[in-house]
Amino acid sequence: MTSPLEQKKIRITGPSMVTANRTWDGVVIYRTSKQGWSADLSDAAIVRTSDEARALLTESIADDVGAIGAYIAPVEVRDGGAIKPGNLREHIRSEGVTIDLPVPA
């Protein structure tokens, strides 16, 4: 299996984080700065250089049992430090679908 790091250059254009899905249940998770995962975006480790991003991704991918599909995604860091999703896709992953789910009786 070729490392994703060899497949493409990692270049980030702003503050970023690593996100994946939890293997056993598919829940969206974010890589923390403590070599772990959290389902809460506010726990995500923020990287600001391509080297940092690459390192965080490498470490994340190594956890093949706990997480699948890890990738680097943009975040927005507000004044005061609050972390928000950096694009629509990450917004949907963290907040849920943008439509109303059918409501079972």
Partner 1 sequence: MYAYDELDRTIINERVEEFRDQVKRRLSGELTEDEFKMLRLQNGVYLQLHAYMFRVAIPYGTLSSKQLRALAHVARRYDRGYGHFTTRQNIQFNWIKLAELPDALADLAEVGIHAMQTSGNNTRNVTSDQWAGVAPGEVEDPRIWSELLRQYTTLHPEFSFLPRKFKFAITASDHDRAAIKVHDIGLRLYKNEAGETGFEVLVGGGLGRTPFIGKTIKPFVHGHDLLSYVEAILRVYNQYGRRDNIYKARIKILVHELGIEKFAREVEEEWLQMRDSALAIDDSVIEDIRSRFTYPAYEKLPHMPDELKKAAHDPHFEAWRKNSVAPHKVPGYAIVTLSLKPVGGPPGDATADQMDAIADLADKYSFGEIRVGHEQNLALPHVARRDLPVLWKALDKIGVATPNVNLVSDIIACPGLDYCSLANARSIPIAQELTRRFANHETANMIGRLHINISGCINACGHHHVGHIGILGVEKNGEEFYQITIGGRADEKAEVGTLIGPAVPYGEVADVIEDIVEAYLALRARPDELFIDTVKRLGVEPFKERVYATR
* Residues lying near partner 1 in the complex (CB under 8 A): 1, 21, 23-28, 64-65, 68-69, 87-89, 92-93, 96-99, 101-105
Looking at the Cβ atoms of 32 and 91, the one nearer to partner 1 is 91
Looking at the Cβ atoms of 33 and 87, the one nearer to partner 1 is 87
Residues 6+ apart with CB under 8 A from 23: 65, 66, 67, 68
To partner 1, the closest distance from the beta carbon of 23 in angstroms equals 7
Residue tagged 């829940």 (tokens)? 27
Rounded to whole angstroms, the Cα distance separating 44 from 93 reads 14
Looking at the Cβ atoms of 9 and 65, the one nearer to partner 1 is 65
Instruction: Give, as one character, the DSSP assignment of residue 43.
Output: G
To partner 1, the closest distance from the beta carbon of 53 in angstroms equals 18
To partner 1, the closest distance from the beta carbon of 81 in angstroms equals 23
Provide the pairing of β-strand 37-38 with 67-77: unpaired
